[in-house]
Amino acid sequence: MNISFIHTADIHIGKKFNVNFNSGEGKKRRREIWETFDKIIEVCIRNNVEFLLIAGDLVDAKHCTLDDMKRLSSKFSEARNTEIIITTGNRDPYTTYSLYRFIDWPSNVHIIDTTNQIRQIDFADKNLCVFSVGLDLKDKQKERTCLYDIEVNPSNINILLAHGDIFGNDTEDVKIDISRIESKFDYVALGHIHQYTEYSERIIYPGTPEPLDFSEKGQHGIVFCKLDKAGIEKVFVPTAKSRFISKEIFLQQDFSYDKILDIIKFSGDYISASKDYYRIILTGKVDMAIDMNRLKTEASSFFQYIEFVDDYLFHIDYDYWIEENDDNIIGQYFKQFKASGEENLNRQKSLLLGLSVLLNEKGRMTDGN
């Protein structure tokens, strides 16, 4: 007998974003996360999926509301033929004040409500046992040594559902020594790492269904599996409505305003620019006469969202300005800047701002004469 299940994690309902979103963008992105969650439930219903495994951080507890939790409960009830098992992660720890405690969950939902001992959920009719332990407050809970004491019946299909780090990059409470337990389980459904990651064919991080910031590249989705004691069939199903895309553009000092604008405009195709989140890293040299602030504002109109990282320098010919203004304050101004140290963009912006003031003053003096 095989079972069918979807494995997901790190949905982060209620997420506050660590990017330069305004309030409108943040609300839109949270709405997209809800829409993708709804899609996961629809996939369960439409495909008669027997189990939905959620490996922690379903919600972002600091910002998730009671209304959010009620909405989750209502949506889960629609998938009445799917058994839903939810363990807790470092962003939605199972604590005294956890909102998971204050919801009447439908009968098909199983919340892992232990953080210091293993919870075993048996589905005898499917020959399935799911083992899990939740997370308490990050850095407060000792390493979950109970994970290493699990005893399984080898005739059952045994699944471990856990939120944690098997690569040794996080704190003790989140760490899992996978080498001590991997041989016990037919599948290990993990959460915590936001990119799809296969430790082995049966030990998997599905990643986030929707990417959450510019560090989360590539495809994002869920894992659909059919599993029995003999083998596994699994498919990665993309779900993300939007991507976070970073691109570096190398500028040259002879590029015109319009050329730079076109390079930025065509860094994404029309469909991508209308739905994805772009970060453009500008490097190289720019003609000092180009108003980059105006250019970036104009470029922004071609994207649903775009932000810039200024890692370029202006091309400033100090010798030209000094020679042309040898007899006035502008020449002295450039001499002072040339001698004052290493080039950086903020220093250059200060120079150009001061130059514009001096040129305006010079123009007024000329008009007065």
**Ordered domains of the chain (ranges, CATH):** 3-238 (3.60.21.10), 244-368 (no CATH)
Please say whether the dihedral angle defined by the alpha carbons of residues 297, 302, 305 and 306, taken in this order, is positive or negative. Answer: negative
Q: Helices in the chain by DSSP H: which ranges?
A: 23-46, 66-78, 257-265, 270-275, 292-300, 318-324, 329-339, 345-368
CA angle 91, 131, 152 (to 5 degrees): 155
Q: How does residue 365 score in pLDDT terms, banded at 50, 70 and 90?
A: very low
Section 105-130 average pLDDT: 96
Q: Residue 16's pLDDT is what? A: 83
- Token representation of residue 112: 């892992």
At residue 139 the predicted structure's pLDDT band, cuts being 50, 70 and 90, is low
Q: Is the pLDDT of residue 368 over 60?
A: no
SS3 category, 42? helix
Q: Above 80 in pLDDT, residue 359?
A: no
pLDDT tens-digit readout, 284-300: 999 988 999 999 999 99
Query: DSSP state, 175?
Result: B
Backbone φ, ψ for residue 78 (5° rounding) = -70, -30
Retrieve residue 176's tokens: 């899992």
> pTM of the entire structure?
0.89
pLDDT of residue 346: 86
- Going by their DSSP bridges, the two strands 51-55 and 3-8 should be labelled as parallel
- DSSP 8-state secondary structure symbol assigned to residue 97: T
* Residue 40 CA: distances (Å) to CA of 67, 79, 240: 20, 10, 11
Q: What is the DSSP letter of 49?
A: -
Average pLDDT for residues 132-151, to the nearest whole number? Answer: 86
pLDDT of 71: 96
- Lowest-confidence region among 70-79, 243-252, 255-264, 360-369: 360-369
Q: Which is more confidently placed, 347 or 293? A: 293
Q: Would you say the C-alpha torsion 87, 91, 97, 99 has a positive or negative sign?
A: negative
Sheet holding 305-315, edge to edge: 244-251, 277-287, 305-315
DSSP state of 142: P
